[in-house]
Amino acid sequence: MSAPPPLTALPDTHGHFGPYGGMFVPETLMAALQELTAEYERAKKDPAFQHELDRLLAEYVGRPTPLYLAERWTKRLGGAKIYLKREDLLHTGAHKINNALGQALLALRLGKKRIIAETGAGQHGVATATVCARFGLECIIYMGQVDMERQALNVARMRFLGAKVVSVTAGQATLKEAVNEAMRDWVTNVRTTHYILGSALGSHPFPMMVRDFHRIIGVESRRQIMEREGRLPDLLVACVGGGSNSIGLFHPFLEDKSVRMVGVEAGGEGIKPGRHAARFQGGRLGVLQGTKTWLLANDDGQIELTHSVSAGLDYPAIGPEHANLHDAGRVDYLFATDEEALQAFQDLSHYEGIIPALESAHALAHVTKIAPQMKSDQIILVNLSGRGDKDVASASRHVFGEELKF
């Protein structure tokens, strides 16, 4: 047996991360996925593509984002020094636009003028609608009916940006069903349409491509912490739904043995079937929506219901690269409950004047548990993947028991 390839060399040419990943799609999509893979490989090596991406990331999206030392929160928790990577300050309010922009540039290279996307919390939908407006592309966003209600603000934003938002009512009407509908649209319109998948999920090349477009988060963080502290952090923390913001932060640090990493899944109302979205708590190996990975299903292989207060984490499968990092022991996957995330949402607002997205609040909830157990000369770097404006209505319902009227 030869030694397994280093984690940073994955995926292989067929999109496998160890036993995970791959291209488990209907035949209708195979040609488009192979075309996309080939075009992405060409774009990656094309200095003009990279230059245009970098220019737009700087001028339009607002990169680099600051690395911010959360002094009051650090003092309050009384342990490790806490730095926040401020992806919430990006145009549209979350990390999602790093990938949406990259894929829109690819769609232009492919000559595809019609863009579709799924969205859960609405941040990927807003990012996609934004770049489509910027490049004059037709944009259709699939969104579960339940998510449209809990993220009404983002639905309105997408409509102002010129996107058509299609409500998906099947199943539990959240992110998974939105992905199914987007895939059905793509199967039907594949010759004219590019699917901007929003997480490190689905068939190859999406998990690799989405990761690569978000690696900038980790690359900047690494440089910034070296400038500020002259050393690497002890711990990285990020929330994991499909896993795009977390893989973006983690990937450039994978070879740094001294850096521990924690991915925080949605524990919902606690680990009971159907009431959470923590795939490493009671999940199993399976295949869903194009990829082989760890997922929540029953003994018959039917996908289970999920729950999370955060629409962006409310999904039954984890990105395949995370499944492999889990098996390799490189990243620990833990969870935070709805209640813990809502508390962290309030804490960061209160102590730092920053309202975080409920997704990011799951990462912060883990920090509140672990920081006090660490020494004051240790460093935690947490990805603040999005801002919480979109969650204010939903959080007030949970915290104050009040419905906001607009």
Partner 1 sequence: MNRIDLCFEKLRAAKKCGFIAYISAGDPDLARTRDIVLELERCGVDIVELGLPFSDPLADGIVNQLAADRSLRAGTSTPKVIDFIRELRRETQIPLVLFTYLNPVYTYGFERFHKDAAAAGADGVLILDLPPDEAAQNKELIESAGLKHIRLIAPTTPESRIELIAAQSEGFIYYVSREGVTGAQTSLSTGIAAQVALIKSHTVTPVAVGFGISTPEQAGAVAGMADAVVVGSAIVKLIGQHGASPDLPTRLAAFVKPLVDAVKSI
Nearer to partner 1, 30 or 404 (CB): 30
Q: How far is the CB of 121 from partner 1 (least distance, A)?
A: 20
Q: How far is the CB of 38 from partner 1 (least distance, A)?
A: 12
Maximum Cα–Cα distance across the chain: 64
Q: Which of positions 184-223 make contact with partner 1 (CB under 8 A)?
A: 184, 187-191
| Residue 292 found at the interface with partner 1 (CB under 8 A) | yes
Active-site residue identified among 81, 96, 112, 292: 96
Q: How far is the CB of 16 from partner 1 (least distance, A)?
A: 7
Angle at 347 between CA 265 and CA 369, to 5 degrees: 50
Coil, strand or helix at 255: coil
* Residues recorded for the chain: 406
Residues 81-100, one symbol each (x = binds partner 1 by CB under 8 A, - = not), give --------------------
Q: Is 96 annotated in the active site?
A: yes
Q: Which of positions 297-326 make contact with partner 1 (CB under 8 A)?
A: 297, 299-303
Which of these segments, 11-19, 70-78, 133-141, 221-229, binds partner 1 (CB under 8 A)? 11-19
**Is-contact 199 123, C-beta < 8 A?**
no
| Residue 202: both structure tokens together | 């689905």
Tell me the sheet residues that pair with 195: 116
Nearer to partner 1, 31 or 58 (CB): 31
Question: Which one of 7, 10, 11, 22 is in contact with partner 1 (CB under 8 A)?
Answer: 22
| Residue 269: both structure tokens together | 């109302």
Which of these segments, 47-55, 102-110, 137-145, 171-179, binds partner 1 (CB under 8 A)? 171-179
**CA–CA gap between residue 279 and residue 351 (Å, rounded):** 31
Q: Is 35 annotated in the active site?
A: no
Q: In angstroms, what CA-CA distances link 400 with 253, 350, 357, 404?
A: 40, 15, 17, 10
| Residue 171 found at the interface with partner 1 (CB under 8 A) | yes
**CA–CA gap between residue 353 and residue 336 (Å, rounded):** 22
Residues 244-283, one symbol each (x = binds partner 1 by CB under 8 A, - = not), give ----------------------------------------
**CA–CA gap between residue 286 and residue 8 (Å, rounded):** 24
CA 185 to chain CA mean position, Å:
22
**CA–CA gap between residue 181 and residue 175 (Å, rounded):** 10
**Is-contact 118 186, C-beta < 8 A?**
no
| Residue 24 found at the interface with partner 1 (CB under 8 A) | yes
| Residue 166 found at the interface with partner 1 (CB under 8 A) | no
Which of these segments, 90-98, 177-185, 258-266, 326-334, binds partner 1 (CB under 8 A)? 177-185
Q: How far is the CB of 328 from partner 1 (least distance, A)?
A: 19
| Residue 55 found at the interface with partner 1 (CB under 8 A) | no
Residue 227, phi-psi category: left (phi > 0), alpha (psi -120 to 50), beta (remainder): alpha
**CA–CA gap between residue 23 and residue 34 (Å, rounded):** 10
C-alpha radius of gyration, the chain, whole number = 20
Q: How far is the CB of 272 from partner 1 (least distance, A)?
A: 19
**CA–CA gap between residue 130 and residue 132 (Å, rounded):** 5
Coil, strand or helix at 240: coil
**CA–CA gap between residue 92 and residue 404 (Å, rounded):** 22
Q: Is 27 annotated in the active site?
A: no
Nearer to partner 1, 171 or 282 (CB): 171
Nearer to partner 1, 195 or 250 (CB): 195
Active-site residue identified among 81, 87, 118, 221: 118
Question: Which one of 108, 232, 287, 328 is in contact with partner 1 (CB under 8 A)?
Answer: 287
Task: Estimate the crossing angle of helix 27-44 against helix 97-110, to 10 degrees.
Answer: 100
Can you give the binding site for partner 1, defined by CB under 8 A? 14, 16, 19, 22-32, 170-171, 176, 179-180, 183-184, 187-191, 284-290, 292, 297, 299-303
The catalytic residue positions are: 96, 118, 385
